[in-house]
Amino acid sequence: MRLFFVCTGNVCRSPMAEALAQKHPGVEARSGGVGAAFGAPMSEGARRALAAAGLALPHHQSQEPSAEHLAWADWVLAMTQSHKEELVSRFPWARDWVLTLGEWAGSKEDVEDPIGSTDQVYAATMAHIDRLIEKGLASQGPGPRYGSAAGADHAGYLLKDRLLSQLPAPVLDVGTHDPSSVDYPIYAEAVAALVGQGRAGVGLLVCGTGIGMSIAANKLMGVRAAAVSDVSSAHLARAHNDANVICLGERLIGPVVAEDALREFLATAFEGGRHSRRLEEIRALEDASGHGP
């Protein structure tokens, strides 16, 4: 089970929770803060509280939660209701697996901030978090998973809505749902994170051309998004490129061609063989660029 803990600065409560959760076999844990500066170490109080319990998180660096973190986690566990509200306003598509730690454990209690308090307060906060994690792990199964994820901007939402019933269920529709102008990278990021992190099996993105969506989606790890214009390009995107996100342009192709292309995309298997080696080469490019200059 993957757990992502969230507090404000990612220096006290959420890293303590990360270290406590990792004690449990089969649990992977990470953490972030909705107001975190990047790269701060854990607070001394949190470090001492963990050390007293024989625990440590020596390489911790504070960070803000990203779309990929939210897609990765079975459950995103916020220390307070206000952290949860902030997360849901940034990542509305994740609302079904963002809870407070208290809710996840079956109660309403928030975990209050110990920052600047005594070692006793830190120890009590850590014991509170530990109790809630134990209770949650005893009662909760894996978080929701999706057959597919779909997204569009104002220039593509009509076609996206028309294609939803063709997609593998359950479908997570991240929007948009009306013609007000929106920025396509927001929807590309959501669908790409869901597919790239394995939470959704396949992705559909629609904008005016399919091009902006594919450029944006391909920035995320594990995503092979193809802008497709007909049945042949849909077939080859799967057979040769093992594409996991199909991008369509509502302003460029008609709805029947789009339906046929999507049907072909979903029905075609990756051929493997010589194409596998090329995908490995793409993965190596992804790894290399992830490290920056």
- Is 240 among the catalytic positions? yes
> Among this protein's residues, is 207 annotated catalytic?
yes
Residue 79 or 217 with smaller CB distance to ligand RB5? 217
Contact residues for 68 (Cβ-Cβ < 8 A; gap 6+): 193, 196, 197, 220, 221
- CA–CA separation, 97 and 101 (whole Å): 11
Contact 94, 71 (CB under 8 A): yes
When the beta carbons of 12 and 227 are compared against ligand RB5, the nearer one is 227
Binder to ligand RB5 among 17, 207, 243, 258 (CB under 6 A)?
207
Q: Does 253 bind ligand RB5 (CB under 6 A)?
A: no
The residue behind tokens 């063709």 is 166
Residue from 4, 93, 122, 184 in contact with ligand RB5 (CB under 6 A)? 184
Of these residues, 60, 240, 275, 291, which one is catalytic? 240
Point out the catalytic residue in the list 12, 69, 154, 207.
207
Is 222 a binding residue for ligand RB5 by CB under 6 A? The answer is no
Give whichever of 165 and 181 is closer to ligand RB5, judged by the CB atom.
Answer: 181
Kindly tell me which residue out of 45, 212, 242, 261 binds ligand RB5, with binding defined by CB under 6 A.
212
Q: Which residue bears the tokens 């854990």?
A: 42
Q: How far apart are CA 268 and CA 235, in angstroms?
A: 6
Rank residues 16 and 253 by Cβ distance to ligand RB5 and give the closer one: 253
- 132 CB contacts (<8 Å, ≥6 apart)? 101, 102, 104, 105, 107, 109, 111
Closest CA to 250 of 187, 203, 208: 208
Binding mask 106-145 toward ligand RB5 (x if CB under 6 A, else -) reads ----------------------------------------
**8 Å CB contact between 205 and 245:** yes
**In whole angstroms, how close is the CB of 229 to ligand RB5 at the nearest point?**
13
197 in contact with ligand RB5 (CB under 6 A): no
* Angstrom distance (rounded) from CA 21 to CA 37: 23
Q: What is the CA radius of gyration of the chain?
A: 21
CB 111 within 8 A of CB 13: yes
Q: Would you count residue 229 as binding ligand RB5 (CB under 6 A)?
A: no
> Which residues participate in catalysis according to the annotation?
207, 240
Residues of the shown chain interacting with ligand RB5 in the complex, contacts defined by CB under 6 A: 153, 155, 184, 207-209, 211-212
